[in-house]
Amino acid sequence: MNRGNIIISMLLIATFVVAGCDIGTSGIHLVDAKIATAVDENLMPIKVTDVFPKGTSKVSCWIKWRDTKINTELVASWHYITDDIHVLDYPFIIPKKEGTGGIVLAMPDGKNLPSGEYKVDLFLGKRLLKRLIFRIE
């Protein structure tokens, strides 16, 4: 099975965890975004990197925002650049004015992400807020 078929057939687990306070305002301010191995219980990134070893089964996209209207929808669009395959668009709702969270791209147990280049684009509507590129060796 080639890499393209593996990507297309892989099971993705996309989760979004959030924390924050206050009430919403109009718009959004994406303060920071990073690729990491995971997000901890305090919603902070663990081992920020853009290069992951062969055998990696999950990658986390950590974000921090402020001045956001409650119920603002962002979309994380994952793409496997190496074979030009769109993997997943994952919409999620920002429930607080200010906070942090993470979106996880994961393979099912016993499977690994194929080697190559990936990107995750963070969109507000059609507006690209941030693009993060990473590689699995």
- Residues 60-96 have pLDDT tens digits of 999 999 999 989 999 999 999 999 999 999 998 898 9
Q: What is the pTM of this model?
A: 0.79
Structure tokens at 96: 């607080």
What is the number of structural domains in the chain? Answer: 1
**pLDDT value of position 38:** 96
With cut-offs at 50, 70 and 90, classify the pLDDT of residue 14: very low
Closest Cα to residue 61, out of 83, 73, 82, 77?
Answer: 77
**pLDDT value of position 1:** 53
Q: Find the domain containing 99 and state its range.
A: 3-136
Q: What is the CATH number of the domain that holds 111?
A: 2.60.40
- Is residue 21 pLDDT above 80, yes or no? no
